[in-house]
Amino acid sequence: MTAYEQFCRHAAEINDILCAINVLQWDARIQMPPEGAQTRGYQLATLTRLAQERFTSAENGRLIEVAESELTGADPDSYPVRAVKAAREAYDIFQRIPQDLLAGRAALSAEAQNVWAEARKKNDYALFAPYLKQMLAYAQQMAEAIGYSDHPYDALLVQYEPGMTAQRLQTLFAELRAVSLPLLERITAAGPQPKPAFLEREFPIEQQRAFAIEASVAFGYDLNRGRVDVAPHPFEISFTRQDVRITTRYQLRYPFAAIFGLMHETGHGLYELGAAPELTRSALTSDYLGMYAVGGASFGMHEAQSRMWENLVGRSLAFWQVYYPRLQEYFSTQLADVSLDTFYRAANRVQPSLIRVEADEVTYNLHIMLRTEIEMGLLDGTYTVDELPAAWNAKMEEYLGLTPPDDAQGVLQDVHWATGYFGSFPTYTLGNIMSGQLMAAARRQVSGLDDALARCEYAPLHNWLIDNIYRHARAYTPDELLIRATGEALHTGPYLAYLTEKFDALYPG
């Protein structure tokens, strides 16, 4: 057995543990009874510690070293070289992280998510605040352990978006604000847009589910390797490319939550399903810093897929010109008197709102900027956890002109801080930016793509994404993938052009 094969066998065993962690996390968020939270936390902590110990062991360090030596002179872009390189980079960082940090965070996460769900239901921020303080302490310890030169946020971004920094984020955010804020001001100048009357009707849940799954399968989601469940906060999770699960949530009088929510999670699922088979159970489908199994290059690149399939495809006029008659078949009573134009405009209505996951495309990034700035402030001491509700409300007023009536619709609306994902929020906006670049490149490179999309034939786009993004899993950094696929590093131009063209047409001056 070669040195690289020994390295791969060890990496596969670590991946098995990480996939088992994902299974327990899926169960905790889907069907675990509330009283199971504490013991589930112990189980997750134990498995996380086992995975961390195996990864940080002297034996793994030796395997990495001998594999590096054996691969000297090999193609630097080959999967074997990239796998060993990824393991080396994570191994070196891990030498600086206290052994009990990740296990402690994992143990807290299961219980904190359960408390967050209860606090949100009861509109009781004080119930969740002690857990958030503990999670923040873990995030601060992680930042100090990883190390940074400018801002502690830089260290946390390494876990989710390699190559990104707080300063680079601020530059990108400024470019987005320069275009999106004037666009928003022009659209909303006439005053609030009323919610379309048909959205006050009841849309039976079973029909919502059936249509949402039909669209997901049309995009390419494989139900033989996946399933669809209900969750209070939609998510996707994978246990290798052979088992990739997605969720959504349903509102009786707001079918868009389920339809577009599942489109979003389908994009994540397609990414995981599209990894090259030979990368299964490998270092390139393992996130060693976060201690979970995932096949995407970064959270931002993952969000690029979900935002592309949800917005650039799912909210497009081309999609609904074909699928709206089908939706009317599912909801013949509710939509009989609703025209395609009325429905399409409702699906793309621009209106500042309280809830991020239901925000329109023009205001969505403002929700992300708010959260990112708060996270930076929590890390550098600008805000305390006790001050968070007031800080949240002030920024909502500043960016969106709204004040949440309660914490359930404000600071408690996202699960991310309960899971310890400090540093992940900006990846949603990075995903938006990347989605614009990738779609523009696909249109240049795939002959007849727009005609195929007009017929709702998604294989050409799906196959291009598999070839250029999905199959590589974590082999390349986000910027490397963008350069390989589009010829350019991350920039806002194509995404801003998409936003301007779409919403100028929907809301002519």
Q: What is the DSSP string of 8-20?
A: HHHHHHHHHHHHH
Rounded CA-CA distance 133/420 in Å is 11
Residue 230 has pLDDT above 80, yes or no: yes
pTM of the model: 0.93
Give the three-state DSSP class for 307: helix
Rounded CA-CA distance 485/465 in Å is 9
Residue 99 has pLDDT above 80, yes or no: no
Q: Which residue in 396, 310, 306, 401 sits closest to 347, CA to CA?
A: 310
Give the three-state DSSP class for 26: helix
Rounded CA-CA distance 361/350 in Å is 8
Residue in the structure block whose two tokens are 């940074």: 148
Q: What is the pLDDT of residue 190?
A: 75
Residue in the structure block whose two tokens are 């194509």: 494
Of the residues 265, 303, 310, 361, only one is catalytic, namely 265
Mean pLDDT lowest for which of 102-111, 322-331, 366-375? 102-111
361 tagged catalytic: no
Distances (CA, A) of 414 to 13, 45, 358: 33, 23, 12
Q: What is the pLDDT of residue 358?
A: 79
Q: Which residue in 155, 395, 148 sits closest to 289, CA to CA?
A: 155
Instruction: Quick: pLDDT tens for 134-186.
Output: 999 999 999 999 999 999 999 999 989 999 999 999 999 999 999 999 999 99
Q: What is the pLDDT of residue 100?
A: 84
What DSSP element (H or E) covers 142?
Answer: helix 125-146
Q: What is the pLDDT of residue 233?
A: 81
Q: What is the pLDDT of residue 216?
A: 98
Mean pLDDT lowest for which of 40-49, 257-266, 310-319, 406-415? 40-49
Q: What is the pLDDT of residue 175?
A: 97
Structure tokens that stand for 493 in this block: 């131009």
Q: What is the pLDDT of residue 300?
A: 97
Q: What is the pLDDT of residue 173?
A: 96
Structure tokens that stand for 483 in this block: 């350069």
> Which amino acid makes up residue 205?
I
DSSP H helices in 331-363: 332-335, 340-347
Residue 509 has pLDDT above 80, yes or no: no
**Please, what is the average pLDDT of the chain?**
95
Sorting pLDDT into bands at 50, 70 and 90, what band is 287? very high
Give the three-state DSSP class for 195: coil
Q: What is the pLDDT of residue 102?
A: 80
- Quick one: how far is CA 70 from the chain centroid? 36
Q: What is the pLDDT of residue 98?
A: 84
Q: What is the pLDDT of residue 89?
A: 95
Share of the chain above pLDDT 70, in %: 100
Rounded CA-CA distance 89/163 in Å is 13
Q: Which residue in 109, 112, 103 sits closest to 46, CA to CA?
A: 103
- CA angle (161, 370, 427) in 5-degree steps: 20
Give me the sign of the Cα torsion angle 485, 488, 489, 494.
negative
Rounded CA-CA distance 298/57 in Å is 25
Residue 373 has pLDDT above 90, yes or no: yes
Contacts of 403 (CB under 8 A, 6+ apart): 393, 396, 397
Q: What is the pLDDT of residue 504?
A: 94
Q: What is the pLDDT of residue 167?
A: 95
Judge contact between 248 and 262, C-beta under 8 A: yes
Sorting pLDDT into bands at 50, 70 and 90, what band is 110? confident
Distances (CA, A) of 55 to 2, 45, 81, 285, 346: 19, 15, 18, 14, 50
Instruction: Quick: pLDDT tens for 180-220.
Output: 999 999 999 877 778 899 999 999 999 999 999 999 999 99
Q: What is the pLDDT of residue 395?
A: 95
Q: What is the pLDDT of residue 290?
A: 79
Sorting pLDDT into bands at 50, 70 and 90, what band is 127? very high
DSSP codes, 420-434 = T-TT-THHHHHHHHH
> Which amino acid makes up residue 65?
E
Residue 17 has pLDDT above 90, yes or no: yes
Residue 126 has pLDDT above 80, yes or no: yes
Q: Which residue in 109, 11, 23 sits closest to 51, CA to CA?
A: 11
Could you say which DSSP state residue 97 is in? S
Q: What is the pLDDT of residue 346?
A: 96
> Which amino acid makes up residue 335?
L
Residue 106 has pLDDT above 90, yes or no: no
Count Cβ neighbours within 10 Å for each residue of 105-123 and write b for 16 or more, e otherwise: bbbbbbbbbbbbbebbeee
Give the three-state DSSP class for 31: coil
Number of C-beta neighbours around residue 340 at 10 A? 15
Q: Which residue in 117, 364, 400, 422 sits closest to 249, CA to CA?
A: 117
Residue 32 has pLDDT above 80, yes or no: yes
